[in-house]
Amino acid sequence: MTNATPSPAWQPLKGVRVLELAQIMAGPVAGLMLADLGADVIKVEKFPGGDDARGFNSQGAGGVTASFEVLNRGKRSIAVNLKTDQGRAALRRLVARADVLTENFRPGTMQALGLGPEDLHEINPRLIYCSVTGYGNRGPLAGRGGFDLILQAFCGLISVTGEPGRAPVKPGISIADVNAGILAALGVLGAYVHVLRTGQGQHVETSLLQASMQQLYWYAALFFSGQEVPQRLGTAHPVAAPYQTYTCSDGEIALGGANESNWSRITEVVGHPEWRDDPRFSTSQARLRNRASLTECLNAALAGHTRAHWEALLTAAGVPAGPVQSVAEALSHPQARAVDMVVDAQTADGGLRPMIGLPIHFSGRNEPASTAAPRLGEHTSQVLAQAGFSDDEISELITGQYVLQVAPAAGR
């Protein structure tokens, strides 16, 4: 990290070099966010195969699957065989010029390779070493591997997800993986400030357990205060009502009537002002106790018109409301483009494809990385040369299969 001319506010990490040894989702989410903030993120991949997400069953372009592409745009790929002395030696030389290293191996794996944080801080005392694990690096379960489904189950998220009286379900998204990646990026940024102030590197740690358990704020508040923790509530809120989805003629709409003023507005819009004096619904506590009756009444009142009809009326009245959209509807909505959550990025075949953008703006702007996700080993020679390897050294590493360099794609 050098004191260069300040980068534009929407690329605050320009000039920061990240070695990403992490794969699949949690670690690559962190790397994607850092790349979108301007960092030079170099994926250090195994071979053959590379990041396991390259093999997931999803249609892609130019030999790169969409499941890999979506989390790895804007990065460069170097393929290194870390099971060999030569491969590990090459990585250590890269570490000497890096600012950040991320990894998501089981605890102890990197130490066994001589690549743990203590080892690498001897080479580069300013290095920010970021580990994403399953259960954390300490405690009785520290050695276990981490998987999104398993940690959501372990941390209680699945127990409170689903419809009342039915089996629990996993949320349709990878909450543990994605949030762990966000927390890792946050930790890296905190450590970066520390390095700038002191010159001392840090070992940043987070886990899928921590990323899952963090989501329990409302339920933890009830549990730690000695109250009953509700189980599956469908889309309902554990401490507020009405605050869930209801059925219209063409689908469902989400309503937020958590406070008295919004509840009063809802009763006016749906044509039932008398509900305000109904003892079942007259207070927030009463509405929580009689949630089933409240849901039945609201469903009956909303069933005669479309989502758009009710959204317009409720929004005009100042009530938080929005349709339950499909993924296609959400990603196609003009608001997604307006806030840069859908951006056009290059694909490996030279085309363009919409992808998820950077969910942060700086003074109203951002500049997410838009170059194509790399093919395995696409930038090996380039990265090694920039790290000071001679042509002969690079040739020797490639010939000995300690690293892999693929032929450049046409037009790249």
The token duo for 47 is 């071979």
- Residue 51 near residue 126 (C-beta atoms within 8 A): no
99 in catalytic set: no
- Residue type for position 409: A
Would you call 130 helix, strand, or coil by DSSP?
Answer: strand
**How many C-beta atoms lie closer than 10 Å to residue 293's C-beta?**
13
Beta-carbon contacts of 323 under 8 Å, excluding residues fewer than 6 positions away, are 251, 252, 253, 254, 307, 308, 311, 329
If we measure between CA atoms, which residue out of 236, 241, 233, 254 comes closest to residue 325?
Answer: 254
Question: Which one from 99, 177, 340, 392 is the annotated catalytic residue?
Answer: 177
| DSSP code, position 260 | H
The token duo for 278 is 């109904």
Calpha distance 181→339 (Å, rounded):
21
Beta-carbon contacts of 36 under 8 Å, excluding residues fewer than 6 positions away, are 74, 357, 358, 366, 367, 368, 369
In the 3-class helix/strand/coil scheme, how is 46-91 assigned residue by residue?
Answer: CCCCCCHHHHCCCCCECCECHHHHHHHCCCEEEEECCCCHHHHHHH
Query: End-to-end distance of the chain based on CA atoms, in angstroms?
Result: 29
In whole angstroms, what separates CA 153 from the centre of its chain?
18
Calpha distance 192→202 (Å, rounded):
9
Query: Which residues are identified as catalytic?
Result: 177
